């Protein structure tokens, strides 16, 4: 089963992707993380992508597609992926569909985390990332126990360079003018799930899980979702 999360920067999609990956036994793939990793390692792709990421612009489709399609090679029958941050526009969605259809593992559900722009601005300015594994914390919504230190691995927290005010505004403009068109695209496929992204992380997660169950029920497929604390198996893809 493959799921994707659509949400503006600061909508909490990274956090929800981690939770869903654990709960549904999916591999989480975040295009932003893959790009930052390529940039940090100075790969040819990273060098090409760097100026776009630094400006807060979308990296050209062919570069991102290469990264993501490579990662889908690891897909097998049992385990699916949860995509975070990809696709970001219609051509990316079409390429992804073609690729996953060819593998016989289409997207099962596209989850939109709905958070108003004013809230996003507020949340992003409080966002901090850990140096070691990229765990995301937020001074307002999900503060670490000790200021400046990741609860999970003890590494230092830092603010991303593209989380500065003018870059945040640029990224949100792109989301609300371009990426938002994906809602119609996936709605037409009967795969769109809109979830209110405001409120507690656990409650948002529960809404997503219940909604995914609903999409599966409408399609007459077995529910993929296990109770929160148990390991699970799913049968639909």
- Footprint of ligand AMP (CB under 6 A): 9, 31-32, 35, 52-53, 56-59, 64, 85-88, 92, 162, 171
**What are 196's strand-pairing partners?**
114
CB of 213 to ligand AMP, least distance (A): 26
- Measured at the CA of 220, the angle between CA 216 and CA 230, to 5 degrees, comes to 45
Nearer to ligand AMP, 57 or 97 (CB): 57
- Candidates 28, 54, 55; CA nearest to 39 is 54
Known catalytic residues are 13, 88, 127, 160, 171
CB of 34 to ligand AMP, least distance (A): 8
Residue nearest to ligand AMP (CB): 32
CB of 218 to ligand AMP, least distance (A): 28
Nearer to ligand AMP, 130 or 225 (CB): 130
Are β-strands 27-30 and 127-130 bridged in parallel, bridged antiparallel, or unpaired? unpaired
For 33, how many CA atoms within 13 A lie in the half-sphere containing its CB? 18
Using a 10 angstrom Cβ sphere, with 0-12 exposed, 13-18 middle and 19 or more buried, the burial of residue 44 is: exposed
Question: How many angstroms separate the CA atoms of 61 and 76, rounded?
Answer: 25
Nearer to ligand AMP, 26 or 225 (CB): 26
For 109, how many CA atoms within 13 A lie in the half-sphere containing its CB? 26
Tokens of 161: 């360079």
């Amino acid at each position: 089963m493959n799921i994707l999360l659509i949400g503006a920067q600061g909508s909490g999609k990274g956090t929800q992707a981690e939770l869903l990956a654990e709960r549904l036994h999916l591999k989480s793939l975040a295009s932003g993380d893959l790009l930052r990793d390529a940039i940090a390692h100075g790969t040819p792709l990273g060098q090409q992508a760097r100026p776009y990421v630094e400006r807060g612009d979308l990296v050209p489709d062919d570069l991102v597609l290469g990264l993501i399609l490579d990662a889908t090679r690891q897909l097998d029958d049992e385990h699916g992926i949860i995509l975070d941050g990809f696709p970001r526009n219609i051509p990316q969605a079409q390429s992804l569909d073609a690729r996953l259809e060819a593998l016989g593992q289409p997207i099962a559900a596209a989850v939109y985390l709905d958070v108003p722009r004013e809230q996003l601005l507020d949340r992003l300015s409080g966002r901090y990332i850990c140096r070691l594994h990229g765990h995301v914390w937020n001074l307002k919504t999900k503060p670490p126990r000790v200021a400046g230190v990741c609860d999970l691995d003890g590494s230092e927290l830092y603010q991303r360079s593209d989380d500065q005010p003018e870059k945040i505004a640029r990224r949100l403009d792109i989301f609300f003018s371009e990426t938002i068109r994906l809602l119609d695209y996936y709605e037409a496929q009967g795969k769109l799930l809109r979830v209110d992204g405001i409120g507690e992380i656990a409650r948002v997660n529960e809404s997503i899980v219940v909604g995914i169950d609903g999409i599966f029920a409408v399609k007459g497929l077995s529910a993929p979702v296990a109770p929160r604390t148990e390991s699970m198996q799913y049968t639909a893809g």
